[in-house]
């Protein structure tokens, strides 16, 4: 089944729906890579059609390294999406990226391992060496930044996303290394998702929600708790619909 989807949203930790939106339909899709993390919900924002998929499943059952990223993106593609907004819950490393900040990164360093990270492994597929110098689609990034501005929501423009394996959080030494490498943000789901989106020819950008200071970055050295992470994401997720409304304005 293929529809005219103006934007697909992949929700991260703490974003299992879009507050304020009523779903119209739910699609249980199968792809050549298997099943996505859960049903794809669809709704209208104004005259635009939006699709939504919870990356970890609706009950947050899937850890980052077990998500079927290929099936998720293929399912959104099969449904008709050509633009994907990834919402990524992250830890903040750089001083501008404190808890509850929103950021639209422009670079990625991939520290993940053992994840299927390409479509090329599918039987019969040819080898692709897609350009990935700018891992996010610049036009969608700029539209997203403009939408945040028009919605009156503060956002940090740019930053380097370090993708770690998880599901455990990082050590302070690992974060110190990421900082030296130039990472501003750290999360567990940014890759291989962005690379697969490029291979599929999808426009793809990330809106990062900073849930906590990454290990060793908090001026007050406290333990990171899931409660803190979810409370910070919750406080920011109320802005999402307004951002989407501006992003989808005709
Ligand atoms: N590290 C990695 N991923 C995360 C973090 C973190 O500190 N917070 C939320 N996702």
Among 89, 99, 221, 223, residue to substitute to test ligand 1 (most atoms within 8 Å of Cβ): 89
Tell whether 115 is covered by a domain: yes
Q: Is the CB of 78 under 6 A from ligand 1?
A: no
Q: What is the pLDDT of residue 226?
A: 87
Q: What is the pLDDT of residue 16?
A: 84
Tell whether 205 is covered by a domain: yes
Q: Are strands 48-54 and 7-11 parallel, antiparallel or unpaired?
A: parallel
Q: What is the pLDDT of residue 141?
A: 98
Among protein residues, the one whose CA lies closest to atom 3 of ligand 1: 187
Q: Is the CB of 188 under 6 A from ligand 1?
A: yes
Tell whether 47 is covered by a domain: yes
Q: What is the pLDDT of residue 188?
A: 98
Q: How many domains, the chain? A: 1
Separation of CA 188 and ligand 1 centre (Å): 7
Longest distance between any two alpha carbons in the chain, whole Å: 53
Q: What is the pLDDT of residue 228?
A: 87
The whole domain housing 53 covers 7-247
Among protein residues, the one whose CA lies closest to atom 10 of ligand 1: 90
Low-confidence ranges of the chain (pLDDT < 70): none
pLDDT in tens, 129-177: 999 999 999 999 999 999 999 999 999 999 999 999 999 999 999 999 9
Helices (H) and strands (E) in the chain — how many of each?
A: 6, 11
Give the pair of three-digit tokens for residue 226. Answer: 């899931």
Tell whether 19 is covered by a domain: yes
Q: What is the pLDDT of residue 239?
A: 92
Q: How far apart are CA 248 and CA 250, in angstroms?
A: 6
Q: What is the pLDDT of residue 17?
A: 81
Give the pair of three-digit tokens for residue 134. Answer: 């700018």
Separation of CA 211 and ligand 1 centre (Å): 7
Tell whether 201 is covered by a domain: yes
Q: What is the pLDDT of residue 124?
A: 79
pTM for the predicted model, two decimal places:
0.95
Tell whether 1 is covered by a domain: no
Tell whether 2 is covered by a domain: no
Q: Is the CB of 194 under 6 A from ligand 1?
A: no
- The percent helix, strand, coil of the chain (3-state, each to 5) is 25, 25, 50
Q: Where are the beta strands (DSSP E) in 105-152?
A: 107-110
Query: Any idea what the CATH number is for the domain that residue 236 is in?
Result: 3.40.50.1580
Taking the CA of residue 213 as reference, the ligand 1 atom at the shortest distance is: 7
Separation of CA 232 and ligand 1 centre (Å): 12
Taking the CA of residue 164 as reference, the ligand 1 atom at the shortest distance is: 2
Tell whether 87 is covered by a domain: yes
* Preceding peptide of 161 cis, ω within 30°: no
Q: Any idea of the CA torsion for 180, 182, 188, 191, to the nearest 10 degrees?
A: -130
Separation of CA 124 and ligand 1 centre (Å): 36
- Distance, first Cα to last Cα, the chain: 25
Q: What is the pLDDT of residue 115?
A: 96
Q: Is the CB of 89 under 6 A from ligand 1?
A: yes
């Amino acid at each position: 089944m293929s529809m005219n989807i103006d934007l697909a949203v992949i929700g991260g930790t703490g974003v299992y729906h879009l507050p304020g939106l009523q779903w119209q339909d739910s699609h249980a899709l199968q792809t050549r890579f298997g099943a996505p993390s859960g049903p794809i919900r669809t709704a209208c924002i104004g005259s635009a059609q939006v699709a939504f998929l919870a990356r970890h499943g609706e009950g947050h059952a899937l850890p980052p390294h077990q998500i079927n990223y290929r099936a998720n993106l293929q399912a959104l593609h099969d449904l008709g999406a050509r633009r994907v907004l990834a919402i990524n819950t992250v830890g903040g490393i750089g001083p501008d990226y404190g808890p509850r900040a929103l950021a639209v990164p422009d670079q990625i360093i991939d520290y993940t391992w053992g994840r299927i990270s390409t479509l090329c492994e599918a039987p019969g597929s040819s080898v692709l060496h897609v350009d990935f110098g700018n891992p996010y689609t610049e036009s969608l990034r700029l539209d997203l930044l403009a939408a945040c501005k028009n919605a009156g929501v503060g956002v940090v423009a740019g930053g380097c996303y370090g993708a770690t394996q998880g599901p455990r959080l990082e050590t302070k030494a690992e974060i110190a290394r990421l900082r030296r490498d130039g990472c501003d943000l750290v999360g567990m789901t940014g890759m291989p998702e962005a690379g697969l989106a490029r291979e599929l020819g999808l426009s793809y950008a990330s809106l990062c929600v900073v849930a906590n200071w990454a290990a060793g970055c908090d001026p007050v050295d406290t333990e990171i708790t899931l409660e803190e992470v979810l409370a910070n994401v919750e406080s920011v997720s109320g802005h999402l619909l307004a951002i989407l409304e501006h992003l989808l304005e005709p």
